[in-house]
Amino acid sequence: MSTSAGDAMRRIGNAITPHEPQSTDQIWEIVQLARHQDRPYPLDYIPRLLSDFEELRGDRLYRDDPAIVAGIGRYHDMPVVVIGQQKGRDTQERTYRNFGMSGPEGYRKAMRVMALAEKIGAPVITLIDTPGAFPGADAEQRGQGGAIATSIRTMLRLSVPTVAIVVGEGSSGGAIALGVADRVMMLQNSTYSVISPEGGSAILWRDAAKSQLAAAAFQPTAANCYRWGVVDSVIPEPDGGAHRDHDAAAELLDRYLLRALTELREIPGSERRRQRHVRFRRIGSYRELALADTSAVVSGQTKGPP
């Protein structure tokens, strides 16, 4: 599978730019910062970003899921809907919030408040921080897969402006369920990956202790996600990490969020939705062989070669 010039293979898909590779130690340090227990969570950002906030609870179907907080508030004097994954800081709160691992009820609550956003024309802001959706028999029974899928679909259908920000750990389907937005951003020391390092280590290395190796292989850092076209911007953090100064972290986030929403509000709703679809259509990296009988087939949707 070499990509030398002679083998008639063409690379298409997202333009992937060369970069300075990060070492295993550097990546692991970011993984730990992303999960630092003093790192600001949605309930730390919300009072710093919004002048008013009313939390809304429950999915109106089964129960309230404290792993996701949702509500309405005023952001720079506009009504917004905020949905965030909340991990909990001490043992008691972590148990209450199920370590930020939501069940189908969490995503259904999110969809319920997205419907409110659509009704009043309020932008939707999601703050992503989860090790993954909850793996439990009861969650499966109530349709965990379908809830995540429907949440993705709901975000694709919204006509209001949407911004998703990975503030901590964005792992697996539990993260993408809230990540299908017009603009997707990551904090400098956050991670975004197909699975947590521990999960990947258990499955691919058949050894839960290989999580550092797994993290180095997944390269879940903001720099890489930007390079792959998965996120549109990387939000800087205060020196040493967001946990050092919640106020400064919120101020930096505010700057990027406000700029994104200001840009997005200029675009008509249907056009904004179309652009969102195009954005997610383009993501991927694959080769296109020049087969004799199909050489005329050239992708019309993906970006050209780098």
Partner 1 sequence: MRRNFRVCTSCGHHFKVSGKERLDQLANFESWNELWPELRAADPLQFTDLEPYTKRVEKAEAKGLTEALVAGDLSVGRQPCVAAAMDFGFLGGSMGSVVGEKLLRACDRAAERRVPLIVISASGGARMQEGVLALMQMSKTVVGFEALHEAAVPVISVLAHPTTGGVWASFAALGDVTYAEPGALVSFSGPRVIEQTTREKLAPDFGLAETQLRNGQVDDVVDRRELNERLERVMRILSRESSPEPPLAMQWAQQGASRAQRAARAVPRMSRRIRERLRRGEGPQ
Q: Using CB under 8 A, list all residues that contact partner 1.
A: 1, 9, 11, 13, 16, 133, 135-137, 139-146, 148-150, 152-153, 156-157, 172-173, 175-177, 179-180, 192-195, 199-200, 203-206, 214, 217-220, 224-225, 228, 230, 277, 280-281, 283-291, 294, 297, 299, 301-302
DSSP state of 294: G
Amino acid making up residue 178: L
Q: Which two tokens stand for residue 88?
A: 């909990």
Closer to partner 1 at the Cβ: 32 or 285? 285
> Is there a contact between 42 and 247 (Cβ–Cβ < 8 Å)?
no
CB of 44 to partner 1, least distance (A): 25
Closer to partner 1 at the Cβ: 10 or 265? 10
> Is there a contact between 180 and 280 (Cβ–Cβ < 8 Å)?
yes
CA nearest neighbour of 85 among 95, 99, 72, 75: 99
DSSP state of 41: P
Q: What's the CA gap between 258 and 120, in Å, rounded? A: 19
- Beta-carbon contacts of 98 under 8 Å, excluding residues fewer than 6 positions away, are 65, 66, 67, 134
- Beta-carbon contacts of 244 under 8 Å, excluding residues fewer than 6 positions away, are 238
Closer to partner 1 at the Cβ: 37 or 294? 294
CB of 202 to partner 1, least distance (A): 8
Closer to partner 1 at the Cβ: 53 or 99? 99
CB of 130 to partner 1, least distance (A): 13
CB of 28 to partner 1, least distance (A): 16
Closer to partner 1 at the Cβ: 43 or 175? 175
CB of 135 to partner 1, least distance (A): 3
